[in-house]
Amino acid sequence: MQKFPNLKNPYHFLATLGGIGLSPLAPGTVGSIFALIVFVFLSHFMNMIPITIVIIFFAVFICEKASIGLDNKDHKAIVIDELAGMWVALIPVLFIASTQQERTLYAVIAFISFRFFDILKPFPISYLDTRFKNGFGIVVDDLAAGIFAGLFTIPITILLT
C-alpha cells in the first residue's frame, strides 16, 4: 500500500487541499473553514454556481485518483470533498442575503450546520456514505450534507434577519 498522503503526488496534494487535510485536529473542519474563506473571496469576483459545479466533478475525479490503493477510501486527510460540500451549502447565500450582516449570519449557520450533517451523517447521508466506495462515494455524502445544511440554513437566516 502507498504512503498516504504523499504531497509530492499531485492527486494527494489536491485531495488534501495542499496539505490542509493533514491538520492533527479536525481536518474536515479545517477544510470546511478553508472552503468558506475561499468561497467568500471568490464570490466577490465571479459566479460561484458554475465554479461549484466544476469543483464537484473535479473533486470526484481527484478523490478517485487519490484513493487508489487505500483500504479506507474516504481517508480523513482527503478534504476536497468538504470543499465541494461546503460550497453547495453556501450557494443559497448568493440569493437570499442582501446585506453583509445577512451574508455573515448565513455563512456562520451554514458552516455549523454543514459540519453537523457531515459529522453525524443522518439518513440518507449515512446511506450514501456506506453505499459507494469510490471517488463519487467520497464526495456524494458531503454534497448531501451541503444540501441539508443549505436547506436548514435558509429558513433560519430568514427568521433571524
Whole-number pLDDT of residue 68: 87
pLDDT tens by residue, 112-131: 999 999 999 999 999 998 88
d(CA 82, CA 76): 11
d(CA 77, CA 27): 6
pLDDT tens by residue, 11-52: 999 999 999 999 999 999 999 999 999 999 999 999 999 999
pLDDT band at 1 (very low <50, low <70, confident <90, very high): very low
Residue 32: half-sphere exposure toward Cβ, Cα within 13 Å = 30
Q: Is 43 helix (H, G, I), strand (E, B) or coil?
A: helix
Whole-number pLDDT of residue 132: 82
Q: Is 106 helix (H, G, I), strand (E, B) or coil?
A: helix
